[in-house]
Amino acid sequence: MDNQELFTVVDFPKFCYRLINYKGTCITDGNNKDVHNNKLAWKTFIENEKGRYEALNQANEDLHIDVQKLDAIDYQFVSPWMTRYDNATNENKVKILQLFVDVMYEKYFQSILVNYNKQHCTIPT
């Protein structure tokens, strides 16, 4: 499996999981201070994700994930999915997460992380 396939199989669903669990995430700025403003917290969360991917790129020379467009992900689009996921029973959370991965793929994947194959974009079991 090449690095692009590995990203598609493993990390894109994990990225979606981090998005859908955003409300439960402690967001800190560069000075390790909590960010309480919702707009600033979302922006900081996305910037932290960019940094995470840049570190992955550096650690894996063959992995070149361009994440500069991550801030195109609209909080207003993700927010209802967060609520739906939070309110789901434990047995339905996996189904909702998979639906969210599919919707994120359709809405954002090609415009943010181009040239990956949707058939591999499933939650690993």
Residue 85 contacts residue 93 (beta carbons within 8 Å): yes
Residue range 49-65, pLDDT digits in tens: 888 878 877 777 766 66
Report whether pLDDT(13) > 80. Answer: yes
Q: How far apart are CA 87 and CA 94, in angstroms?
A: 13
Report whether pLDDT(46) > 70. Answer: yes
Report whether pLDDT(29) > 50. Answer: yes
Residue range 71-118, pLDDT digits in tens: 889 999 999 999 999 999 999 999 999 999 999 988 887 777 654 444
Give the contacts of 14 (CB within 8 A, at least 6 positions apart). none
**pLDDT at residue 3, rounded to an integer:** 52
CA distances, 33 to each of 17, 21, 26, 47, 109 (Å): 24, 20, 10, 15, 31
**pLDDT at residue 48, rounded to an integer:** 85
**pLDDT at residue 86, rounded to an integer:** 93
- Highest mean pLDDT (candidates 14-18, 22-26, 29-33, 37-41): 14-18
- Report pTM: 0.72
Mean predicted confidence (pLDDT) in 114-125: 46
3-state secondary structure of 111: helix
Where would I find the H helices in 1-125?
3-6, 12-20, 38-59, 75-87, 90-104, 110-112
